[in-house]
Chain A
Amino acid sequence: MPKINVDNIHANFVRQLESWVDGLPEHAKDAPFVTAAAKGGKELSPSQVLVHVRKLTPLGVQLTEQAAALAMSDTFREALPGAATKPPVKPARRSRKSATKPRRRGPQNRGGTVTV
């Protein structure tokens, strides 16, 4: 399973946010991105989100903690057996003989219900 370096989690998150903000058009960098549903409605632009995370303000710490948890759960899910990294299993091909001749099934195999 891939390992996550906890020491680098903050630096990685800052890098991710920097690349997101850098890739935005100029007007979007300082436009509101999220708001809080409180009187006065505290609004945060992408640049302000980055500042909070960079400076590890209380909100920046909260965001980094959540980003770390999400990264870990994403890595964990990808590492699970049968995750997207594994090629899809092709259904077994039936031989020509068995494809033309109906298979005989016992009474328990006939459909989805069994009566006893």
Chain B
Amino acid sequence: MIVVSTNRSATEKALHRYASRFFAGLPRNGSSLHLKSPRSVSKNFILELRSRTGVPVFFFGHGLNPPAIGFLGDDGKPALDAKNMALLTRRKVAATCCHGDRVGSVARRNRFSVFGYKGLYWVPKSSRHVTDCEAAALAGPSIIAQGGSPAQAALAAEREYRRLAQLLYSRNRVGDRAFASFVAINATTAGAW
């Protein structure tokens, strides 16, 4: 499995934390790799995709803004974009970033499948909420890591974000109710392509 995370902005730092936890939970059999800052740039990503064909890819970071398609690297340049989507052929992709649906729009043509989020994917800033969101952020990728389909991953992510939104709403500490609505949006945008 290939896990990729970037670590520049505060948002990326939160997602990098999730990626590190996720990678730590993968079986230690030498078949998985965590490509992280500062190595998570296009050249290295492409190299790993070429040398590890068919294995699932887990991306944690920023998605490219439409009309572009793909993922942003640690150097602020596209790490993977429309020109090299064919490198994802015969893989399951878990896109923990914005605009996963854009990557999904070219999935069938390039014979891969994607779990991700339609449009914007909201990430908290406060460390308390970053911790609260970890299980929900990793619910989808964990299903893919266990051999599940992107559709199953999307259902798991939706369920976990929905559960978290209700928990935050009931807990009602400072900022919880406002943040619960963003969490609930993530539940509604989780999808598979």
Chain A residues packing against B (C-beta within 8 Å): 16-17, 20, 23-24, 31-43, 46, 49, 62-64, 66-67, 69-71, 73-74
Contacts and interface: CB of A to CB of B under 8 A. Distances in A.
Interface string B10-23: 11100100000000
Nearest to A32: B125
B98 A62 contact: no
Q: Chain B contact residues: over half helix, strand or loop, or mixed?
A: mixed
A34 B125 contact: yes
Interface residues of B, number: 37
B98 A70 contact: no
A70 B165 contact: yes
Given A37-B15, A66-B181, A66-B184, A42 B169 contact: no
Given A20-B178, A32-B10, A70 B169 contact: yes
B50 to A, nearest CB: 25
Contacts of A33: 124-126, 175, 178-179
13 contacts: A20-B174, A20-B178, A34-B122, A35-B9, A36-B120, A36-B121, A37-B121, A39-B65, A43-B125, A49-B178, A63-B182, A66-B184, A70-B181
Contacts of A23: 174
B103 to A, nearest CB: 13
B44 interface: no
B170 interface: yes
Given A69-B184, A70-B180, A37 B166 contact: no
